[in-house]
């Protein structure tokens, strides 16, 4: 086993500790990736704060890019030196969900307590979200990575691993938006900006961003929003409907706030649907009037990781970036070193950051 640096969570809500850990070589069907960049997602923060429970000590991080350092037996299509994006989407390929084309809902459990990492003294160390990318390197299943061109900046590529595929995929795959339809995106953070980009790429007529921050609404316009509505002013769905001239065909909720879910159906047109992306804490609930939704054919559907098939969807998204049609560099708020990860997390929690990225200096 090799020794690498990683940011370890020993106690929920406490600062992460940058320390030495042990990483075993890749086994059958696995690859080792030396990371160049890993972005900080709010899901990592929620896990580290104990919002959804989990095993400790743990290494979080799941939005990464780097180069293949080694491959295990049976790995095909990947070789040492390849540039890759690393995701948390670990799929078995054979369960009912995988066979049905929805690998984000893979039903085969993964035990992160018995993954490829250990503490410096050989003790248990949980590989969170089947990734554990707040580290200099990872060992993951080959199905979790997608090869990309060498000339794509890794800090930009890392964003595709979660925030981009989740936001764009929620519009394209979950909402199945058609050109000319209207969209409301609640939350103009990292995932919300990508949902806005997805709506623009899909040809939406009106894209209304809803957020508590006027500054974020201005940024949302840069990414393709046609209108912005402050969530703090009265009944924001009225302003959104006025901007569209009707209700929305799709409302994408990208924040884990129950109040946002409570209000989301108010934005809908007849036959519209709410796409549930943001994840509130596990003990929180929302309330709806089901009679209204039933009467006018509205619906609500969860969307995990944009319902993507990464080997299908990441290549075309990366290609759009190369064409200048998908903004990635503009999503990066700040670049930090691994030793600064707690400061980067604190900055992310202020709500002003789009995406903070940990960059490893080689």
For the record, the structure tokens of 354 come out as: 């789009």
Measured CA to CA, the distance from residue 308 to residue 127 in angstroms comes to: 22
Is residue 134 domain-resident? yes
**Four-point Cα dihedral 46, 49, 52, 58, nearest 10:** 100
Same-domain pairing of 147 and 171:
no
Is residue 312 domain-resident? no
Residue in this structure with the two tokens 């200099």, named with its chain if needed: 136
* Burial status of residue 347 (CB atoms within 10 A of its CB: 0-12, 13-18, 19 or more): middle
What is the pLDDT averaged over residues 222-239?
96
* Burial status of residue 221 (CB atoms within 10 A of its CB: 0-12, 13-18, 19 or more): middle
Contact 345, 16 (CB under 8 A): yes
What is the pLDDT averaged over residues 255-284?
95
Q: pLDDT, tens digit, for every residue of 176-213?
A: 999 999 999 999 999 999 999 999 999 999 999 999 99
% the chain with pLDDT above 90: 95
What is the pLDDT averaged over residues 64-90?
98
- Write phi, then psi, for 325 (nearest 5 degrees): -95, -15
Q: Give the pLDDT score at 213.
A: 94
Residue in this structure with the two tokens 């940011």, named with its chain if needed: 7
Same-domain pairing of 111 and 209:
no
Q: Give the pLDDT score at 312.
A: 97
Contact 69, 78 (CB under 8 A): no
Same-domain pairing of 200 and 295:
yes
CB atoms within 10 A of CB 13: 9
Measured CA to CA, the distance from residue 129 to residue 305 in angstroms comes to: 12
Instruction: Kindly indicate the confidence band of residue 353, based on its pLDDT and cuts at 50, 70 and 90.
Output: confident
Is residue 313 domain-resident? no
Which of 350, 313, 346 has its CA nearest to residue 48? 346
What is the pLDDT averaged over residues 291-308?
95
Is residue 156 domain-resident? no
Same-domain pairing of 146 and 284:
no
Measured CA to CA, the distance from residue 96 to residue 99 in angstroms comes to: 5
Contact 342, 17 (CB under 8 A): no
CATH number of the domain where residue 278 is located: 3.40.50.720
Q: Give the pLDDT score at 351.
A: 82
Same-domain pairing of 177 and 94:
no
Same-domain pairing of 13 and 132:
yes
Is residue 311 domain-resident? no
Same-domain pairing of 178 and 271:
yes
Q: With a cut of 70, say whether residue 249 has pLDDT above it.
A: yes
CA 19, 22, 23, 25 torsion: positive or negative? positive
Same-domain pairing of 22 and 101:
yes
In the sheet that holds 299-302, the strands lie side by side as: 227-230, 206-211, 182-186, 248-253, 268-276, 299-302
Residue in this structure with the two tokens 């809803």, named with its chain if needed: 210
Q: Give the pLDDT score at 362.
A: 62
Q: pLDDT, tens digit, for every residue of 310-342?
A: 999 999 999 999 999 999 999 999 999 999 999
Tell me the residue range of the domain where 189 lies.
167-304
The total number of structural domains in the chain stands at: 2
Contact 219, 193 (CB under 8 A): yes
Mean model confidence pLDDT for the chain: 96
Q: With a cut of 90, say whether residue 282 has pLDDT above it.
A: no
Q: pLDDT, tens digit, for every residue of 132-159?
A: 999 999 999 999 999 999 999 999 999 9
Is residue 317 domain-resident? no
* Burial status of residue 304 (CB atoms within 10 A of its CB: 0-12, 13-18, 19 or more): middle
Q: 340: Cβ–Cβ under 8 A, 6 or more apart, which residues? A: 358
Q: What is the pTM of this model?
A: 0.95
Kindly give the pairing relationship between strand 206-211 and strand 182-186: parallel
């Amino acid at each position: 086993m090799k020794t690498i640096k990683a940011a370890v969570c020993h106690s929920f809500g406490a600062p992460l500790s940058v320390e030495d850990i042990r990483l075993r070589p890749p086994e059958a069907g696995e690859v080792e990736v030396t990371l160049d960049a890993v972005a900080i997602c709010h899901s990592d923060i929620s896990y580290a704060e104990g919002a959804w429970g989990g095993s400790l000590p743990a290494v979080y991080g799941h939005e990464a890019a780097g180069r293949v350092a080694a491959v295990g037996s049976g790995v095909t299509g990947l070789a040492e030196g390849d540039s890759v994006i690393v995701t948390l989407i670990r799929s078995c390929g054979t369960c009912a969900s995988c066979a049905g084309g929805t690998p984000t809902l893979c039903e085969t459990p993964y035990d992160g307590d018995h993954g490829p990492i250990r503490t410096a003294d050989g003790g248990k160390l949980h590989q969170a979200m089947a990734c554990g990318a707040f580290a200099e390197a990872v060992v993951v299943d080959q199905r979790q990575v997608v090869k990309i061109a060498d000339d794509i900046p890794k800090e930009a590529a890392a964003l595709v691993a979660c925030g981009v595929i989740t936001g764009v995929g929620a519009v394209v795959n979950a909402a199945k938006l058609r050109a000319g339809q209207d969209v409301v995106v609640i939350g103009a953070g990292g995932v919300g900006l990508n949902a806005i980009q997805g709506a623009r790429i899909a040809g939406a007529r009106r894209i209304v961003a809803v957020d508590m921050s006027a500054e974020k609404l201005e940024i949302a316009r840069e990414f393709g929003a046609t209108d912005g509505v402050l969530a703090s002013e009265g009944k924001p769905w009225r302003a959104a409907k006025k901007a569209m001239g009707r209700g929305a065909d799709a409302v994408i909720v990208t924040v884990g706030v129950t109040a946002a879910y409570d209000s989301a159906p108010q934005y809908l047109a007849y036959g519209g649907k709410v796409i549930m992306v943001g994840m509130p804490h596990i003990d929180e609930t929302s309330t709806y009037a089901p009679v209204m939704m039933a009467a006018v054919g509205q619906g609500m559907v969860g969307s995990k990781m944009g319902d993507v098939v990464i080997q299908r969807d990441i290549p075309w998204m990366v290609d759009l970036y190369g064409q200048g049609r998908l903004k990635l560099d503009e999503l990066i708020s700040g670049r930090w070193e691994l030793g600064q990860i707690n400061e980067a997390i604190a900055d992310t929690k202020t709500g002003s950051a789009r995406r903070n990225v940990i960059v490893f200096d080689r």
